[in-house]
Structure 1
């Protein structure tokens, strides 16, 4: 069975190994593509090729042509995964199964502000909470940005901001009080802190800019909850705590497991998803939901559950071939860099 990964993070190399070394002995041929021929995960693929640096409908046409040419059976996309979900029927017509949930959910979760609004609306409809949210304001000009900052600081918050649509920590900044000192400039490494004056000077370069979320900064521990589900049934949720540096801990946290169950009951997210939360004064608040394999999913697989392979089984067979999982929790892990010779 042929699987294609398009333009993924380097950490997808771990998931490729997990899929290959599955407990059922199922055999897969792994295809990988990226515009950069030196993308490291290509070294882990059976067949690798350079893809054009295009997007939109042209990229959909390209993906369809690759699936036909390579006789792909399973497509696990990262690039343009929202648009691909909106064109699933085209892939199904050529016999290709695609590991994405439904298009409406993909688009909703891609927009952090829309996701927050949806949660708030559903909580009002049901009269009960789903998950706590940070205080936030959506802005698209510098005057609104200043007003949002003032509003949140009056509530006692340290303030941060990030793009409404974005991936990972791209564009995330914490607003620090006062000017940057010479000592900070010369001794600190790469920082995500920015002064209010500097932020406004940049944002005022245009009358309007793409929507930003201005939020309370959450000071506590951050968790990623790796989930495996299908057709409304949540099979697995593993809270992965980010502690000091690169150390991660799999924590049997019932409060976070309840959040995962509540969100999956409400939104019916198929296959693999990742719920990111961060604590503030003892309260876990939602950062975002990613409907894909997260960068640290391999750490959660140390629990004894081969999550990428189990997701493929859900894609192929639905809930019929899923066993009851008993993950081992309490595991602490980290990672080191490893050299790779580029052929």
Structure 2
């Protein structure tokens, strides 16, 4: 409600479906939209990308085709493809059954690294566990934000699941995790910001080896729009690719608060305008605040006043 204009998208009801892509195309045309960042039904929108272009709408849906979105969503296949392209990745094995999980854990452990696991599809790090053999199981209940578990305890719990989750088992990387928010134009990185999290704060900067990993992935997959690349450093401090989210990250606001407004940069790119300098001279630390802030226009709208 803080936006200059907003409206509710139609939804399927009473068993009657509607063509979302057609609706989006007609709405964008009617409202004279010059650029659209797709967040929902992206594959359907990509399928008619040329129609958007003909009507003067620059569509950005994360990738140029649905196959690339699927590849990024299936992290085991994604890892194989990136490794073949010469991009440093963590070894990853998919596991959909208890036997496959046991085998994957053994195979990853055989590489000489520690092992971790997470859902094959997920957000915000939910379901990520670092395996620590011999760890007291009670630490799951006594440690704040615990993400470590004895592998035998995990396997026992997994075996009891009514519907076992589809997982990926990976090498655990001990270094710093970086989130690289990127604006890209059909495979070319045009603006970025790197975020590194620590407790209640994030350090934001531009440039560095993490960005070069992101640049290589974007070029290889011809990514397009506002996307996010995740890396983590290995024992030697080298950034290793974890995954790519072909959509904006929920933390992109931290970058904007630090002085790199990537949504604005993306809008300017879509409209063919000059983006300008988006670099930072030095790292900026942004801390989350628990204070409450008033949004006057949104408050007015909620109370039925004139915005």
TM-score range, shorter chain: 0.7 to 0.9
Change (3 A) 1:158 1:250: same
Q: Which moved more, 1:84-93 or 1:110-119?
A: 84-93
- Give structure 2 stretches of 5+ with no counterpart: none
Whether contact under 8 Å (1:303, 1:329) holds in the other structure is no
Residue 47 in structure 1 maps to residue 6 in structure 2: yes
Change (3 A) 1:338 1:292: farther
Whether contact under 8 Å (1:226, 1:297) holds in the other structure is yes
- Aligned mates of 2:162, 2:99 — CA distance in 1: 10
Whether contact under 8 Å (2:192, 2:206) holds in the other structure is no
- Give structure 1 stretches of 5+ with no counterpart: 1-41, 124-129
- Aligned mates of 1:75, 1:234 — CA distance in 2: 18
Displacement after TM superposition at 1:188 (Å): 2.5
Displacement after TM superposition at 1:114 (Å): 2.1
Aligned to 1:61: 19
- Aligned mates of 1:162, 1:83 — CA distance in 2: 28
Whether contact under 8 Å (2:185, 2:224) holds in the other structure is yes
* Corresponding residue to 1:155 among 97, 111, 117: 111
- Aligned mates of 1:185, 1:134 — CA distance in 2: 26
TM-score, scaled relative to structure 1: 0.70
Aligned to 1:299: 254
TM-score, scaled relative to structure 2: 0.77
Aligned-pair RMSD on alpha carbons?
A: 3.4
- Aligned mates of 1:78, 1:257 — CA distance in 2: 24
Alignment of 1:1-343 (within 5 A): 42=1, 44=3, 46-49=5-8, 52=11, 58=17, 61-62=19-20, 64-65=22-23, 68=26, 71-72=30-31, 73=33, 74-89=35-50, 97-100=58-61, 101-103=63-65, 104-123=67-86, 130=87, 132-178=88-134, 180-182=136-138, 184=139, 186-204=141-159, 211-242=166-197, 244-281=198-235, 282-317=237-272, 321-339=274-292
Change (3 A) 1:330 1:112: same
- Aligned mates of 2:140, 2:105 — CA distance in 1: 24
Deviations 1:252-285 (A, max 9, x none): 5532232233223323322222211111211211
Count of matched residue positions in the alignment of Structure 1 and Structure 2: 288
Whether contact under 8 Å (2:37, 2:60) holds in the other structure is yes
